[in-house]
């Protein structure tokens, strides 16, 4: 436990001034504009929007600059900003089937309606650092005539043959769980788990997803489909009396297809894990889908043995703002606590020197 301390105002103010100056760096170098961050550090902005849980490119760019590029600090800034705005309500669920697609790949079907579209991807690059070419001409993307073709989700194709489980049906009477309104409780329903994972730390989910691949709660996943693009957001505005379009947002969706579940009465079918993020957060969407599936162990009658299957472990530790708060609070003054510990270790040492038994020492330390 830490206790309040007094004093230090001048030093704190000076530290913040120094921070502002370090943040700005060499004043001879032009300051980054928000448009530069938003346009050129796109994926950092996408991550901060997803984990900060506010879709607003300009705000995320502002937070990244203020945080000196520390993305977790930027996410923290977005979460704090959230508290200053009123909530108008909830949108209609976005329709990822109607997405204006910019990337769409499947690792399960080579030929699928609508085709495989690489889009803007790091895949198949050689990961060689290119020399600085600041004055090189901008790269112009190639164009070919686009054919209008429907792009059904891969899971819909499998569902047509009844080879994959259906998504849980919408119950219009059931409220949608919301972690920003009610604290997490267990067991957690899938809507709450997905909200938690969508806000969760990419690195944490990546490691957990990886752990399931290495055998800690194996789920035999295939990337059924990953799609990136723009979806329309609509909001039923009570004043207008109808669903008003709010504009388009970029999202990344991942459908994992996993090994079978069946029972005495149900034929074996593929099971599913789902990932959805703001912006282009492909690694995060894939990790989220892996962890969503592994957290369904209880529902699918699998043994819960691995960390990635333990919903209390996963959901309680996925939020990097909470995690950083608790880890970093250790650097706040703990002087009183520590004085008590210091007193205790001195007493133990004097007992030890007087030849007390190990058992008595252990008891005194408790």
DSSP β-bridge partners for residue 247: 233
Shortest approach of another protein to residue 349 CB, angstroms? Answer: 53
Contact between 275 and 256 under an 8 Å Cβ cutoff? The reply is yes
Nearer to another protein, 97 or 203 (CB): 97
CA angle 226, 229, 235 (to 5 degrees): 115
Shortest approach of another protein to residue 198 CB, angstroms? Answer: 5
284: closest CA among 294, 297, 274? 274
Residue 64: both structure tokens together = 């990244």
Nearer to another protein, 200 or 211 (CB): 200
Contact between 76 and 321 under an 8 Å Cβ cutoff? The reply is yes
Shortest approach of another protein to residue 239 CB, angstroms? Answer: 6
Residue 46: both structure tokens together = 């996408």
Interhelix angle for 282-294 vs 202-213, to 10°? 60
Shortest approach of another protein to residue 155 CB, angstroms? Answer: 7
Nearer to another protein, 155 or 211 (CB): 155
Shortest approach of another protein to residue 219 CB, angstroms? Answer: 15
Nearer to another protein, 211 or 226 (CB): 226
Can you say how many angstroms the Cα of residue 86 is from the centroid of all Cα atoms in its chain?
A: 23
Backbone conformation region of residue 299, classed left if phi is above 0, alpha if psi is from -120 to 50, else beta:
alpha
Q: How many Cβ atoms from other residues are within 10 Å of residue 42's Cβ?
A: 16
Nearer to another protein, 30 or 141 (CB): 141
Nearer to another protein, 188 or 211 (CB): 188
Shortest approach of another protein to residue 13 CB, angstroms? Answer: 30
Shortest approach of another protein to residue 89 CB, angstroms? Answer: 6
Nearer to another protein, 56 or 73 (CB): 56
Residue 2: both structure tokens together = 């830490």
Backbone conformation region of residue 48, classed left if phi is above 0, alpha if psi is from -120 to 50, else beta:
alpha
């Amino acid at each position: 436990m830490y206790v309040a301390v007094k004093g230090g105002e001048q030093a704190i103010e000076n530290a913040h001034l120094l921070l502002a100056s370090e943040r700005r760096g060499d004043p001879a170098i032009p300051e980054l504009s928000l448009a530069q961050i938003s346009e050129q550090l796109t994926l950092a902005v996408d991550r901060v929007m997803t984990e900060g849980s506010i879709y607003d490119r300009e705000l995320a760019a502002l937070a990244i600059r203020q945080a000196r590029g520390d993305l977790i600090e930027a996410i923290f800034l977005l979460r704090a900003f959230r508290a200053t705005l009123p909530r108008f309500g909830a949108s209609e669920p976005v329709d990822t089937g109607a997405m204006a697609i910019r990337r769409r790949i499947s690792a399960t079907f080579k030929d699928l309606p609508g085709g495989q579209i690489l889009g803007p991807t790091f895949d198949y690059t050689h990961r060689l650092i290119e020399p600085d070419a600041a004055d090189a001409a901008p790269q112009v993307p190639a164009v070919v005539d686009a054919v209008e073709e429907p792009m059904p989700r891969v899971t819909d194709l499998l569902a047509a043959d009844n080879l994959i489980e259906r998504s849980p049906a919408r119950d219009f009477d059931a409220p949608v769980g919301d972690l920003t309104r009610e604290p997490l409780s267990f067991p957690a329903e899938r809507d709450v788990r997905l909200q938690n994972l969508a806000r969760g730390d990419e690195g944490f989910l990546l490691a957990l997803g990886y752990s399931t691949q290495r055998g800690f709660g194996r789920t035999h996943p295939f990337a059924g489909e990953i799609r990136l693009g723009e979806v329309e957001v609509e909001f039923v505005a009570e004043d207008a009396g109808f669903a008003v379009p709010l504009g388009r947002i970029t999202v990344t969706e991942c459908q994992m297809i996993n090994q079978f579940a069946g029972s005495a009465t149900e034929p074996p079918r593929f099971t599913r894990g789902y990932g959805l993020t703001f912006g282009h957060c492909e690694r995060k969407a894939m990790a989220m889908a892996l962890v969503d599936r592994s957290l369904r162990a209880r529902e699918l009658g699998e043994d819960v043995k691995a960390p990635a299957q333990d919903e209390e472990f996963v959901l309680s530790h996925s939020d990097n703002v909470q995690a950083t708060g608790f880890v970093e609070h250790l650097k706040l003054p703990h002087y009183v606590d520590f004085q008590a510990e210091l007193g205790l270790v001195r007493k133990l040492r004097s007992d030890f020197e007087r030849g007390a038994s190990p058992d008595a020492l252990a008891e005194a330390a408790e």
